[in-house]
């Protein structure tokens, strides 16, 4: 499922360059400033590198991707790497593997704390889905 915006309004889509990479709807992409393209986010992704969320799947022959901007006030339904706990609400998460957030149970206060868990979807301790808000500064 990846990232699906459930709160917030469409503030316009942006088209960014890619290089021989297939992306799925819901993937989070980062700016690769060295190569002037966008690439898949990773566990070391930082707040100022986020480019957006893929809205149209691409193939390796595509040269651009259409992205939804990530804005203050948005909320997303997100898959998590670990079981979600109510006790982790308001903790910031790094990017996990694939299309997940790494909700390790530890708050990530630096630039890699990309999204903050605001609630668990389903039953705490059994669910791997959360509602998350984007962080924009390390203090968010």
Average pLDDT (108-119) is 93
Q: Residue 131 carries which DSSP code?
A: E
Closest CA to 120 of 94, 84, 87, 67: 84
Encode 81-116: b = buried (16+ Cβ within 10 Å), e = exposed.
Answer: beebbeebeebbbbbbeebbbbbeeeebeebbbbbb
Closest CA to 19 of 6, 9, 31: 31
Query: What confidence score (pLDDT) does residue 138 get?
Result: 65
Tokens of 52: 């957006």
Q: Where residue 1 falls among pLDDT bands split at 50, 70, 90?
A: low
The string of pLDDT tens digits covering residues 74-92 is 999 999 999 999 999 999 9
Q: Are strands 28-32 and 75-80 parallel, antiparallel or unpaired?
A: unpaired
Tokens of 111: 């630039």
Please state which of the ranges 8-12, 45-49, 114-118, 121-125 shows the lowest mean pLDDT: 8-12
Average pLDDT (35-52) is 93
Give phi and psi for 66, each to the nearest 5.
Answer: -95, 125
């Amino acid at each position: 499922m990846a990232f699906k915006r459930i709160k917030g309004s469409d503030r316009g889509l942006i088209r960014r360059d890619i290089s021989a990479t297939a992306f799925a709807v819901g993937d989070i992409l980062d700016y690769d400033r060295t190569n002037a393209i966008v690439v898949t986010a990773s566990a070391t992704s930082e707040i100022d590198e986020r480019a957006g969320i893929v809205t149209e799947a691409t193939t390796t022959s595509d040269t651009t991707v259409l992205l939804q901007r990530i804005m203050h006030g948005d909320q997303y339904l997100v898959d998590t790497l670990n079981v979600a706990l109510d006790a982790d609400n308001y903790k910031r998460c790094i990017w996990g593997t694939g299309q997940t957030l790494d909700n390790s149970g530890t708050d990530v206060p630096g630039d890699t704390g990309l999204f903050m868990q605001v609630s668990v979807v389903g039953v705490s301790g059994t669910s791997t889905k959360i509602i998350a808000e984007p962080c924009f500064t390390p203090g968010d």
